[in-house]
Structure 1
Amino acid sequence: MKIRRFIFYKILNWKIIGDTNFPKKCVIIAAPHTHWIDFFIAIFARSLFKKKNVSFIGKKELFKFPLKYFLKWLGGIPVDRGSYSNTVDSIAQIFNQKDTFILGISPEGTRKKVDKWKTGFYYIAKKTKVPVICAALDFENKKIIISKPYQLTEDIDKDIHELRSFFNGIKGKIPEYS
């Protein structure tokens, strides 16, 4: 643990701002997702959290040899992006079967700039009645900024607006995709 802290904080010069003592069950949305390195920064930061068992979903195409076993070891869950409702139901079922389950998702669903987020994270959190926590990957200032838990309402537009506003001004690794 001390070596990881030293590497993350001193060599890589990153900081984690906010409370990482997450609820037993929650969805963490990490953004902006602009480069493949985001994944490794997030995985490295996860190892420093109080609750290290943060899982993530990824397109099923990534879960092939030789990456398959490595990604699963890291907590990866393969999903078929063409089967939207099945993904939400499958992930909700995992939440309901476990006492503790934390899921990290990129709401953009891609590394490119998007005007509209994918809403799978929203429907997973709604279906399982868990809070959403924002994790901003601020490459400009080398900070991961963690929000307080946000409990969703019945107004998806309001909720998405509130959640997106947390990321205002945050620049990803490739700023023009932020």
Structure 2
Amino acid sequence: MIQSVCRFIYHRILGWKEEVTVPDFKKCIICAAPHTSNWDLFLGKLFINAVGRKSGFLMKKEWFFFPLGPIFRAMGGIPVYRSKRTSMVDQLIEKAKQAEEFHLAITPEGTRSANPDWKKGFYYIALGAELPIVLIGIDYQKKCITATKYLRPTGDIDKDMREIKLYFKDFKGKHPEKFVLGDL
């Protein structure tokens, strides 16, 4: 039922399409970019449900106020306390290892503003939990979300991050000027 409703909204009402060739892993980290608008979350959740997959997501804790907090948690949201020095990466590695299924979407830019210094927490979670990283690109110009590549982290973060960034180079966010790849 939820899949049908999401498919109807995503395809018929909004007019978006998808290209998905990656396997439906029981456990994975989803690296989603570009992230230039608050609409990316809702579009991404519609997409993931429309294609019959699951995903939680990280979001700064400031968004978890009433009445949005319970809604975001129900959607799979996990609040991130950026002011505290917690071992969130270690906690998520353990959670992934213990779970039978684990799908977590993370935006590597860590913000909707232009940020050439991508966060690497998603990479370290995947490396530590031995999970594949599924790359999902959002393209507002083509009205298409694409998931055609995944990689398994090798431990050579510079090489792997370059490959990840190159995957996203042609996608156009809602606000393309807010998306930068940084050093390749």
Contact 1:35 1:111 in 2 (8 A): yes
Q: Which residue identity is paired with 1:46?
A: I
- Summarize the alignment of residues 101-140 of structure 1 with structure 2, pairs less than 5 Å apart: 101-140=102-141
Q: Which residue identity is paired with 1:123?
A: Y
Alignment partner, residue 33 of structure 1: 35
Contact 1:20 1:49 in 2 (8 A): no
- Summarize the alignment of residues 126-165 of structure 1 with structure 2, pairs less than 5 Å apart: 126-165=127-166
Closer/same/farther in 2, CA of residues 149 and 71 from structure 1, 3 Å limit? same
Structure 1 residue 98 and structure 2 residue 120: aligned? no
Q: Which residue identity is paired with 1:127?
A: G
Contact 1:32 1:172 in 2 (8 A): yes
Shift of 1:172: 0.2
Closer/same/farther in 2, CA of residues 145 and 66 from structure 1, 3 Å limit? same
Unaligned runs of at least 5 residues, structure 2: 180-184
Shift of 1:74: 0.2
25-34 vs 41-50, greater mean Cα deviation? 41-50
Unaligned runs of at least 5 residues, structure 1: none
CA distance in 1, matches of 2:15, 2:175: 18
Give the structure-2-normalised TM-score.
0.90
Which of residues 50, 53, 65 is equivalent to 1:51? 53
Alpha-carbon displacement from aligned partner over 1:1-42 (angstroms, at most 9, x marks no partner) = 434322211221111102364211100011000011111100
Contact 2:4 2:50 in 1 (8 A): no
Contact 1:21 1:49 in 2 (8 A): no
Contact 2:9 2:46 in 1 (8 A): no
Alpha-carbon displacement from aligned partner over 1:126-176 (angstroms, at most 9, x marks no partner) = 110101011101001000010332111121000000011000121100111
Contact 2:7 2:46 in 1 (8 A): no
- Summarize the alignment of residues 10-89 of structure 1 with structure 2, pairs less than 5 Å apart: 10-19=12-21, 21-52=23-54, 54-83=55-84, 86-89=87-90
Closer/same/farther in 2, CA of residues 84 and 109 from structure 1, 3 Å limit? farther
Closer/same/farther in 2, CA of residues 50 and 74 from structure 1, 3 Å limit? same
Q: Which residue identity is paired with 1:167?
A: F
CA distance in 2, matches of 1:70, 1:38: 16
Contact 1:21 1:50 in 2 (8 A): no
SS of 1:114's equivalent in the other structure is: coil
Alpha-carbon displacement from aligned partner over 1:65-93 (angstroms, at most 9, x marks no partner) = 12111111000111212345611011112
Aligned identity (percent) is 40
Question: What is the total number of aligned residue pairs between the two structures?
Answer: 177
Which of residues 3, 6, 10 is equivalent to 1:4? 6
CA distance in 1, matches of 2:66, 2:20: 36
Give the structure-1-normalised TM-score.
0.93
Q: Which residue identity is paired with 1:34?
A: T
